[in-house]
Amino acid sequence: MNIIVCIKQVPDTAEIKINPETNTLMREGVPSIINPFDLNAIEAALQIREQSGGKISVLTMGPPQAEASLRDAIAMGADEAVLLSDKAFAGSDTWATSYTLAKAIEKLGADIIFCGKQAIDGDTAQVGPETAEFLNIPHISYIRKIEEVSDNSIRVQRLMDEGYDIVESGLPVLLTVVKELNEPRMPSLKGKMAAKKAEIKVMGFADIEADENSLGLKGSPTQVKNIFAPELKAERKMIEGSPEEQVDSLIRELKAIKCI
């Protein structure tokens, strides 16, 4: 079983600030982490490997410093890591990113491809499903449970607004996962040592047989018009105390604004 986990290095949003003048992210000094949903994807892959064996490769597209996230994934237990990095990939939107990832996955070969449901920086949730489309394979999104994996099929639970669907698919398949699926493990000491020594394979334009015009900024139909921080319109007030006190103060507050 060959498993590829697509991950993204993202700024730790708990630490992030927005420049009020330019409305852009202030990335300086903000630590980079693996996108949290991707940690669930890595954990899912590790659990499948524990059950039925196989090899886990982590794949990311990004600048050279994204290598750190790949090493973190190896510290959790992934077998190998591939960094897709090339000037030709710069400026990719979700479409071009998915195309590039798909081309790399075609080269690497996989039975199951895992992605987090979305990245916490862009929040589009597009790259997983788009990658499956470029690969022309089925995808199942928002996986909350993996029921069964065999050599040529998989049965999973897909989280829906009300309840869940049970979906079965042949392999290869691409799955995007939600955090309810599992609790990502901590890295291990042996994993961290392996990660330090691991050779990270770098793939560029020359390695993936891609159409140049579909890559990077050139291959990206998305145009960013404006980025801004939403204005804070509503005020929030926390009512504290015992339940009785809370009810009293809530009634008082509602009366004060003539709501009741």
Question: What is the residue type of 85?
Answer: S
- Per-state percent for the chain, helix, strand, coil, to nearest 5: 35, 25, 40
Cα separation, 20 vs 23, in Å, equals 5
| Least distance in angstroms from the C-beta of 26 to other proteins | 25
Shorter beta-carbon distance to other proteins: residue 77 or 116: 77
Number of residues that bind other proteins (CB under 8 A): 10
Shorter beta-carbon distance to other proteins: residue 51 or 188: 188
| Least distance in angstroms from the C-beta of 42 to other proteins | 14
| Least distance in angstroms from the C-beta of 43 to other proteins | 11
Question: Per-residue string for binding with other proteins, 187-216, x by CB under 8 A?
Answer: xxxxxxx--x--------------------
Does residue number 91 form part of the binding site for other proteins (CB under 8 A)? no
CA angle 214, 220, 226 (to 5 degrees): 170
| Least distance in angstroms from the C-beta of 192 to other proteins | 5
Stated as kind and residue range, the H or E segment containing 117 is none
DSSP string, 33-58: EE-HHHHHHHHHHHHHHHHH--EEEE
| Least distance in angstroms from the C-beta of 75 to other proteins | 9
Instruction: End-to-end CA distance of the chain: give it in Å, rounded.
Output: 63
Nearest-10 Cα torsion for 133, 134, 140, 144: -140
Residue 36 tokens, joined: 């949290």
The residue from 29, 161, 186, 232 that contacts other proteins (CB under 8 A) is: 186
* Among the residue ranges 65-73, 134-142, 181-189, 244-252, the one whose residues contact other proteins (CB under 8 A): 181-189
* Among the residue ranges 59-67, 186-194, 202-210, 243-251, the one whose residues contact other proteins (CB under 8 A): 186-194
| Least distance in angstroms from the C-beta of 131 to other proteins | 30
Shorter beta-carbon distance to other proteins: residue 23 or 188: 188
Nearest-10 Cα torsion for 137, 47, 117, 107: -40
Question: Site residues (CB under 8 A) for other proteins?
Answer: 185-193, 196
